[in-house]
A and B are shown apart, each in its own frame.
Chain A
Amino acid sequence: MLKNRAASCNAPLVSESFLGDVLQLSCAALLLLAIVPPAQGVWPLPQSLSSSAERYPLSPREFNFLYGKGSAVQPGCTVLDTAFKRYFRITFSGYSGGKPLTVNKQPGCVSPDGLWCGSAPLAALVVNVHKGGCDGFPDLNSREDYKLSIADGLGSLSAVSVWGALRGLETFSQLVYQDQEGTYYINKTDVVDFPRFPHRGLLLDTSRHYLPVRSILETLDAMAYNKFNVFHWHIVDDPSFPYQSPTFPNLSSMGAFHPQTHIYTMSDVKQVIEHARLWGIRVIPEFDTPGHTQSWGKGQPGLLTACYKGSVPSGTFGPVNPMLNTSYQFMSMLFNEISSVFPDSYLHLGGDEVNFACWKSNPDIQQFMKKMGFGTDYRKLESFYIENLVRIVTALNKNSLVWQEVFDNAVKVPADTVVHVWKGNKEQYSQEMSSVTAGGFKVLLSAPWYLNVINYGQDWMEAYKVEPLGFNGTAEQKKLVMGGEACMWGEYVDATNLTPRLWPRAGAVGERLWSDEAQTSNLDTAYDRLAEFRCRLLRRGIRAQPLFVGYCDHEYERI
């Protein structure tokens, strides 16, 4: 029994009842150890995977990724050329060019465990992509399905698009393992795979703490290992404005934590977008308005509403001032820039948590309310603002993502707007999913996946057990669920702790959004695969924290 947990057999420190339950369980349980066999799991689990004990060695000296003869993309395809290089390194992590492959060539030799020991090596993985296009960006409709077959010493991967090929390469890399002697093997395997949801996102918040570009790039790597395909970049917010805008340079020079060291230059942003593209990941920026904009006000005087104390301005500011034409002129110019910097067809417009107190205090706003016939319903004012903003964005040929309040407040938005559900417990968010989809809107789920909220114990399980289609609704309604996003808000997170806090917890969300629900309902088998996968992440240099007691062959060796 474990001292600190059995601690709570006597219920010290911890009064939360859930912990009590957990602790009683563990108090009653003996320590059972089980060795997990090597390379049994792919994370997230493919839709269909069959494998046999027959296995083929791989020689890092001889192995190649090759373009198939009939493939629509050929050498020179940036996405796959880069991916081949990356996946060679990942597949043979630990390989330093040393020892040549030794294969027992005796014909008919069968090893005691029933495995062929004389199988010919797997010399190559041949990749066939049916549709050209290596220089574009992934989007909501990208085909990510692929087929992977390893048989008779031949590896073949076929996909409709390069994005599907990337997913297949990831799966391939996870199927390769090393035996005790260090020889690389892959078993005879057939995989037919495709994502359950097309939008599998991760939100990072670079406003509450600045995240160095390296942290973002590393997160994109880990996202690809988990088959995430959307980086939701909550780039600015109240505390700081790190996005350096060429049109409005004062926004970051006044609004960032530091105008030189805590900003994202245009070249940083481009680097992030390109790095993401090469992993098949979309970058959706969020410029949240009209609330969450304190930092905007520093570099753009007059943008925010002046709050009043009695009949005089108090010196503090509230949300964006929705009654001034200058506000919309500014937004129009800024979003014009943003929509050319960020190639994705979606922009996240935020729209959450607008505090009405400041608007209410301002006499000009009060007058405007009267003039517009809004009465005292400030939601109408909010709607007025959002509708104007959406009009601006629509004119730029972009689609909008908005937080759920925009829907809740009955703002008129275009039919293809995606509503992002983030509030409440299971009952509440399920209800919201029902209402949003009944309204005919596409929807994204984040409410159960706020990974910034931490707890003692294996909280990945809660994230894993979520069923995004578990709400009441017709089949048509369920089709409107685009997927979901794991959110890592930045109050307590910066470069020091981001990675271990995200991984492998976000992996639970990754599998929920990619894999078949019925095949991924067992927590025990998920534990085995996820624990193994987190060791793989370590091997790839990702500082993923442990699920529970145990070890990896190669521990994280840095500080």
Chain B
Amino acid sequence: MALIKLAVLFLAASVCLCSKHKSEKVPKLVNSQYGSLWPLPQSAQISVSAFQLSRSSFQIVHAPKSSAGPRCYLLGEAFRRYFEYTFGYSKRLNKDRKQSGAGTEVSELQVLITSSEPQCDGFPSVSSDESYQLTVDQPTAVLTAPEVWGALRGLETFSQLVYKDEYGTLHINKSEIKDFPRFNHRGILLDSSRHFLPLKVILANLDAMAMNKYNVFHWHIVDDQSFPYQSSLFPELSKEGSYHPYTHVYTPADVKMVIEYARMRGIRVISEFDTPGHTQSWGLGQKGLLTPCYSGEKPSGTFGPVNPILNSTYDFMTQFFKEVSSVFPDAYIHLGGDEVDFSCWKSNPDIQKFMEQQGFGTDYSKLESYYIQRILDIVTGTKKGYMIWQEVFDNGVKLKPDTVVEVWMGNALEEELHNVTSAGYTTILSAPWYLDYISYGQDWQKYYKVEPLSFKGTDAQKKLVIGGEACLWGEFVDATNLTPRLWPRASAVAERLWSHKDVRDTDDAYSRLSQHRCRMVQRGIPAEPLFVGHCDYEYRGL
């Protein structure tokens, strides 16, 4: 049994517990007129007349005029999934909202795809159309969407409209929903390097993401601690760099499965291969890649960031990113570029000489820029766009206009957003949504109240904010606690990124989110409670 140990141990907080059951501001439990809808659609009219649904007669089908048909496996799978969700979980909307007589029944949900290219076999992208329209009436409800991506979102909404009365009968109210996302990039970052995440955990969280209308899985797949990505070209990377070369790796088949599972749910998979820092584990399987650090005049035996002065480095990166760009179909790769520690570079005499040759003086951020520039060129050569952490922008590296800058530093957040967008780059926001930082109480409210566009800037600048990501870094998280720690806290972020900016009523949100979390529990996701209370069906997956 091998374990990794950190030499520096944490100091933890000492907490004053001034009361056994801290009284804190708990939102009122109101009965939302929107039932359990989460995230809230852009426009929802829910009438008081209710129809019944019967497990034996209800069907989800392709509309006759739909451009997608039985060969659209993505929708076929989704129909089955949402049928099961719909007849599995249901929660009463509101006692007095039901005025139906017997015999009024919704027996069919027709799904109508209107675009001539429904995208059944495609991959979702940043410009995918996720809009949909849902008309619930009897005997037929109709879900209309230009592309399958919107249909997936609409199916989720439909399943959330269904509720059970006290006799166990399923009902859905006559409704009219028009919906589209506020932001196109709504992501979750999971870190499979600091702790390995078994495939099952990743897949379950893709399910949960779809329930929350997330559409990007940002896979922080490798880092200092381990290299679980099994490369076909460089198998030594995971053989030497993973926690265990068989049990703690993602084989090409695993990666394919994640990508396909995500695609079926309208979720992009953006892989992050962070360099030149955060690469300790790379060095184990790729000798000569990292910079040897010096202690005085001799190599100390430790290694720093990727060695930016060697051609061999760029040869390796060219081949490696060629592989990555064919394995991951998304148009973007995340290249990291954060937190480069210069002390090792500074200690190395060859690097010092190179700095001199290049005329960098002692400004090591120029060396970093030099490296990043070349990596960006390499990736551009693979026809991929790239995402980078904000330091790359801050250090003045020349970027392609379509680069996405991810803002993660909480200090001077608004200023950073202002700067990035005024330079004309698209950006996504993750600074306020580091969900690995846990605290006591209802911290979902804090995530919920964030307004991504509150920085100073023109309308054109604000349009450059294409979304955000909730990040669950892996220092203290593995399969044992990931899912309850992520949900429903990430749901708060999901609504902020999907719904209209004026949807900010925490009481109403609390009511809907409590029900939504019970629905996730019912669907097998161990989403933790928001506060005191219960679900009709408690978690059984012990």
- Give the B-binding residues of A (Cβ under 8 A): 1-7, 10-14, 16, 18-19, 21-22, 25-26, 29-36, 38-39, 177, 208-210, 212, 214-215, 218, 239-240, 257-258, 261-262, 352-353, 422-426, 447, 450, 452-462, 489-497, 499-501, 523-524, 527-528, 531-532, 535, 538, 543-559
Give chain A residues whose Cβ lies under 8 Å from the Cβ of B480. Answer: 499-500, 538, 543-546, 556
Determine if B98 is an interface residue (Cβ-Cβ < 8 Å): no
Interface residues of B in 395-446 (CB under 8 A from A): 408-411, 413, 431-432, 434, 436-441
Distance in angstroms between the alpha carbons of A460 and B12 in the assembled complex? 8
B12 and A461 contacting across the interface, CB-CB below 8 Å: yes
- Give the A-binding residues of B (Cβ under 8 A): 1-21, 194-196, 198, 200-201, 204, 223-226, 243-244, 247-248, 274, 277-278, 280, 302, 338-339, 341, 389, 408-411, 413, 431-432, 434, 436-441, 471, 473-481, 483-485, 521, 524-534, 536, 538-542
A551 and B195 contacting across the interface, CB-CB below 8 Å: yes
> Taking A459-B13, A555-B198 as contacts, is the C-beta distance between A548 and B476 under 8 angstroms?
yes
Give chain B residues whose Cβ lies under 8 Å from the Cβ of A557. Answer: 198, 200, 479
Distance in angstroms between the alpha carbons of A549 and B6 in the assembled complex? 8
Closest 8 CB pairs of A and B: A12-B410, A550-B4, A500-B481, A497-B484, A496-B526, A4-B473, A257-B534, A13-B410
Give chain B residues whose Cβ lies under 8 Å from the Cβ of A532. Answer: 1, 3
Distance in angstroms between the alpha carbons of A284 and B8 in the assembled complex? 40
A2 and B224 contacting across the interface, CB-CB below 8 Å: yes
Distance in angstroms between the alpha carbons of A12 and B525 in the assembled complex? 31
B5 and A36 contacting across the interface, CB-CB below 8 Å: yes
Name the contact of B339 in the complex, choosing from A6, A453, A493 (C-beta under 8 A).
A6
Name the contact of B1 in the complex, choosing from A214, A352, A553, A556 (C-beta under 8 A).
A553
Distance in angstroms between the alpha carbons of A177 and B3 in the assembled complex? 14
A30 and B302 contacting across the interface, CB-CB below 8 Å: yes
The residue of chain A having its C-beta at the shortest distance from the C-beta of B19 within the complex is A353
B20 and A549 contacting across the interface, CB-CB below 8 Å: no
Name the contact of A455 in the complex, choosing from B8, B13, B431 (C-beta under 8 A).
B13
Q: A39-B1, A559-B201 are in contact. List 18 more A-B contacts (CB 8 A).
A: A1-B277, A29-B6, A31-B280, A36-B5, A38-B1, A212-B539, A240-B534, A458-B476, A461-B11, A492-B440, A493-B529, A495-B539, A496-B539, A497-B485, A500-B481, A544-B480, A549-B475, A553-B244
> Taking A491-B532, A559-B526 as contacts, is the C-beta distance between A29 and B7 under 8 angstroms?
yes
Name the contact of A494 in the complex, choosing from B280, B410, B479, B528 (C-beta under 8 A).
B528
B478 and A22 contacting across the interface, CB-CB below 8 Å: no
Can you name 17 A-B residue pairings with CB atoms under 8 Å? A2-B194, A4-B437, A7-B410, A12-B408, A12-B409, A25-B10, A26-B8, A36-B5, A261-B536, A353-B19, A453-B17, A457-B12, A492-B440, A495-B538, A496-B529, A546-B480, A550-B225
Q: Which of B5, B194, B338, B413 has the most CB of A within 10 A?
A: B5
Name the contact of B477 in the complex, choosing from A21, A459, A546 (C-beta under 8 A).
A546
The residue of chain A having its C-beta at the shortest distance from the C-beta of B4 within the complex is A550
Give chain B residues whose Cβ lies under 8 Å from the Cβ of A493. Answer: 528-529
Query: Shortest Cβ distance from B224 into chain A, in angstroms?
Result: 6
A210 and B339 contacting across the interface, CB-CB below 8 Å: no
Q: Which of B13, B19, B277 has the most CB of A within 10 A?
A: B13
Give chain A residues whose Cβ lies under 8 Å from the Cβ of B20. Answer: 352-353, 422-423, 450, 489
The residue of chain B having its C-beta at the shortest distance from the C-beta of A34 within the complex is B5
A551 and B4 contacting across the interface, CB-CB below 8 Å: yes
Name the contact of B542 in the complex, choosing from A21, A208, A214, A426 (C-beta under 8 A).
A214
Query: Shortest Cβ distance from A491 into chain B, in angstroms?
Result: 6
The residue of chain B having its C-beta at the shortest distance from the C-beta of A422 within the complex is B20
Give chain A residues whose Cβ lies under 8 Å from the Cβ of B280. Answer: 31
A535 and B1 contacting across the interface, CB-CB below 8 Å: yes
Give chain B residues whose Cβ lies under 8 Å from the Cβ of A14. Answer: 410, 437
B538 and A424 contacting across the interface, CB-CB below 8 Å: no
B204 and A33 contacting across the interface, CB-CB below 8 Å: no
Give chain A residues whose Cβ lies under 8 Å from the Cβ of B17. Answer: 422-425, 447, 450, 453
Name the contact of A425 in the complex, choosing from B2, B16, B440 (C-beta under 8 A).
B16
Give chain B residues whose Cβ lies under 8 Å from the Cβ of A239. Answer: 532-533
Give chain A residues whose Cβ lies under 8 Å from the Cβ of B244. Answer: 551, 553
Q: Which of A426, A459, A528 has the most CB of B within 10 A?
A: A459
B439 and A456 contacting across the interface, CB-CB below 8 Å: yes
A528 and B2 contacting across the interface, CB-CB below 8 Å: no
B6 and A496 contacting across the interface, CB-CB below 8 Å: no
Name the contact of A3 in the complex, choosing from B10, B473, B539 (C-beta under 8 A).
B473
Name the contact of A4 in the complex, choosing from B10, B436, B531 (C-beta under 8 A).
B436
Give chain B residues whose Cβ lies under 8 Å from the Cβ of A214. Answer: 542
Name the contact of B225 in the complex, choosing from A34, A549, A555 (C-beta under 8 A).
A549
Give chain A residues whose Cβ lies under 8 Å from the Cβ of B200. Answer: 557-559
Give chain A residues whose Cβ lies under 8 Å from the Cβ of B483. Answer: 496, 559
B5 and A527 contacting across the interface, CB-CB below 8 Å: yes
Query: Shortest Cβ distance from A181 into chain B, in angstroms?
Result: 14
A13 and B529 contacting across the interface, CB-CB below 8 Å: no
Distance in angstroms between the alpha carbons of A545 and B511 in the assembled complex? 30
> Taking A458-B12, A500-B480 as contacts, is the C-beta distance between A3 and B278 under 8 angstroms?
yes
The residue of chain B having its C-beta at the shortest distance from the C-beta of A544 within the complex is B480
Distance in angstroms between the alpha carbons of A528 and B536 in the assembled complex? 41
Distance in angstroms between the alpha carbons of A258 and B223 in the assembled complex? 47
B528 and A497 contacting across the interface, CB-CB below 8 Å: yes
A545 and B438 contacting across the interface, CB-CB below 8 Å: no
> Taking A33-B4, A39-B1, A549-B194 as contacts, is the C-beta distance between A426 and B14 under 8 angstroms?
yes
Name the contact of B438 in the complex, choosing from A35, A447, A455 (C-beta under 8 A).
A455
Give chain A residues whose Cβ lies under 8 Å from the Cβ of B11. Answer: 18, 21-22, 25, 461
Distance in angstroms between the alpha carbons of A34 and B9 in the assembled complex? 14
A535 and B3 contacting across the interface, CB-CB below 8 Å: yes
Distance in angstroms between the alpha carbons of A12 and B11 in the assembled complex? 19
Give chain A residues whose Cβ lies under 8 Å from the Cβ of B521. Answer: 496
> Taking A426-B14, A455-B439, A555-B196 as contacts, is the C-beta distance between A12 and B413 under 8 angstroms?
yes
Distance in angstroms between the alpha carbons of A21 and B12 in the assembled complex? 9
A492 and B338 contacting across the interface, CB-CB below 8 Å: no
A458 and B534 contacting across the interface, CB-CB below 8 Å: no
A551 and B479 contacting across the interface, CB-CB below 8 Å: no
Distance in angstroms between the alpha carbons of A447 and B413 in the assembled complex? 38
Give chain B residues whose Cβ lies under 8 Å from the Cβ of A12. Answer: 408-411, 413, 431
> Taking A1-B277, A258-B536, A544-B480 as contacts, is the C-beta distance between A553 and B13 under 8 angstroms?
no
Query: Shortest Cβ distance from B278 into chain A, in angstroms?
Result: 7
> Taking A12-B431, A26-B8 as contacts, is the C-beta distance between A31 and B441 under 8 angstroms?
no
Query: Shortest Cβ distance from B299 into chain A, in angstroms?
Result: 15
B224 and A551 contacting across the interface, CB-CB below 8 Å: no
Give chain A residues whose Cβ lies under 8 Å from the Cβ of B538. Answer: 210, 212, 261-262, 494-495
Query: Shortest Cβ distance from A399 into chain B, in angstroms?
Result: 22
The residue of chain A having its C-beta at the shortest distance from the C-beta of B413 within the complex is A12
Distance in angstroms between the alpha carbons of A558 and B12 in the assembled complex? 30
> Taking A4-B436, A261-B536 as contacts, is the C-beta distance between A553 and B528 under 8 angstroms?
no
Give chain B residues whose Cβ lies under 8 Å from the Cβ of A212. Answer: 538-540, 542
B532 and A531 contacting across the interface, CB-CB below 8 Å: no
Name the contact of A454 in the complex, choosing from B9, B248, B438 (C-beta under 8 A).
B438
Q: Which of A14, A459, A554, A555 has the most CB of B within 10 A?
A: A555
Give chain B residues whose Cβ lies under 8 Å from the Cβ of A38. Answer: 1
Name the contact of A492 in the complex, choosing from B15, B441, B473 (C-beta under 8 A).
B441
A492 and B531 contacting across the interface, CB-CB below 8 Å: yes
A13 and B432 contacting across the interface, CB-CB below 8 Å: yes
Distance in angstroms between the alpha carbons of A4 and B438 in the assembled complex? 13
> Taking A212-B542, A422-B20 as contacts, is the C-beta distance between A551 and B339 under 8 angstroms?
no
B529 and A209 contacting across the interface, CB-CB below 8 Å: yes
Query: Shortest Cβ distance from B486 into chain A, in angstroms?
Result: 11
Name the contact of B527 in the complex, choosing from A1, A34, A461, A496 (C-beta under 8 A).
A496
Query: Shortest Cβ distance from A355 into chain B, in angstroms?
Result: 11
The residue of chain B having its C-beta at the shortest distance from the C-beta of A36 within the complex is B3
B476 and A457 contacting across the interface, CB-CB below 8 Å: yes
B8 and A209 contacting across the interface, CB-CB below 8 Å: no
A455 and B529 contacting across the interface, CB-CB below 8 Å: no
